[in-house]
C-alpha cells in the first residue's frame, strides 16, 4: 500500500455461507489475483463493478463521483488483496472499501458546497412516459432517503437497494446487527412521517 492509502477493512471472524458454483469460480480468481494475476482480478472487477458503482452512486448521487469512487475502490482492493484471508465474501469486503471511500468523498463534497453556497444543484431530467406517476413516486422517495442521517441512509441503501441481509449490512458498516435493525426501524419511521408531510404539501 502507498503512504496515505486507507487501511483495508478488517474482516469478520465468522465465515459466511458460500454459494458453491459461483464462489468456487470466484475463489479461484481471488487466489490467482493474490499471486499477481491481473486477468483474474479483471474477472472480479467485471463481476462486482455494477454493484460497486450502484452503491457509490446511491451514497453520492453523482455518476461522475460514483465512477471515480468505484474505480478507486478496485485499485485499493487490488493493493490490499494479498492480505485478504477469505473469511468474508469478496463482495462484502469490497463494499466496505466502497462505503469508506464514498463517505470520504461525500464529506469533501459537503465542504466544497459550504465554500460555494451559490452553486446550483443539478436538476433532475424530465420524467415522461406511461409510468410517469410511478417514477415521480420513486424520485420523491429517493429524495426523502437523502435527508436521512448518514447511518440510516447507508443501512437503507444496503438493505433495500443492494438487497443485503442484516448480517451483511452489519459486516460492511462494521456495527452490531441490532444497531442495523435500529437504523432501519428509525429510517422507516422517518420516511413514513416525511412522506405524509410531503403529501400534504402537494
Could you tell me the three cell numbers for 27?
475463489
All structural domains of the chain:
15-118 (1.10.1740.10), 129-197 (1.10.10.10)
Query: Can you give the pLDDT at residue 13?
Result: 31
pLDDT by residue for the chain (202 residues), tens only, comes to 444 444 444 443 333 444 456 667 888 999 999 999 999 999 999 999 999 999 999 999 889 999 999 999 999 999 999 888 877 889 999 999 999 999 999 888 777 766 665 444 444 444 455 566 676 777 777 788 888 888 999 999 999 888 899 999 999 999 999 999 999 999 999 989 888 887 655 5
Could you tell me the three cell numbers for 145?
432517503
Query: Can you give the pLDDT at residue 144?
Result: 83
Sign of torsion, CA 162 18 99 82?
Answer: negative
Query: Can you give the pLDDT at residue 15?
Result: 37
Q: State the Cα–Cα distance between residues 27 and 183, nearest whole angstrom.
A: 33
Amino acid at each position: 500500500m502507498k503512504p496515505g492509502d486507507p487501511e483495508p477493512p478488517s474482516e469478520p471472524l465468522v465465515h459466511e455461507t458460500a454459494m458453491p458454483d459461483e464462489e468456487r469460480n470466484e475463489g479461484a480468481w481471488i487466489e490467482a489475483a493474490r499471486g499477481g494475476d491481473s486477468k483474474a482480478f479483471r474477472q472480479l472487477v467485471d463481476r462486482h463493478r455494477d454493484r460497486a458503482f450502484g452503491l457509490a452512486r446511491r451514497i453520492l448521487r453523482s455518476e461522475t463521483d460514483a465512477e471515480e469512487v468505484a474505480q478507486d475502490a478496485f485499485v485499493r482492493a487490488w493493493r490490499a488483496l494479498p492480505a485478504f484471508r477469505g473469511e468474508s465474501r469478496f463482495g462484502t469486503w469490497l463494499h466496505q472499501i466502497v462505503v469508506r471511500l464514498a463517505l470520504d468523498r461525500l464529506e469533501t463534497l459537503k465542504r466544497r458546497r459550504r465554500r460555494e453556497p451559490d452553486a446550483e444543484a443539478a436538476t433532475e431530467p424530465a420524467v415522461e412516459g406511461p409510468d410517469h406517476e410511478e417514477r415521480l413516486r420513486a424520485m420523491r422517495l429517493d429524495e426523502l432517503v437523502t435527508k436521512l442521517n448518514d447511518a440510516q441512509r447507508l443501512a437503507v441503501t444496503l438493505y433495500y437497494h443492494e438487497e443485503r441481509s442484516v448480517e451483511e449490512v452489519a459486516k460492511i458498516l462494521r456495527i452490531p446487527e441490532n444497531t442495523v435493525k435500529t437504523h432501519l426501524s428509525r429510517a422507516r419511521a422517518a420516511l413514513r412521517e416525511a412522506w405524509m408531510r410531503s403529501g400534504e404539501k402537494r
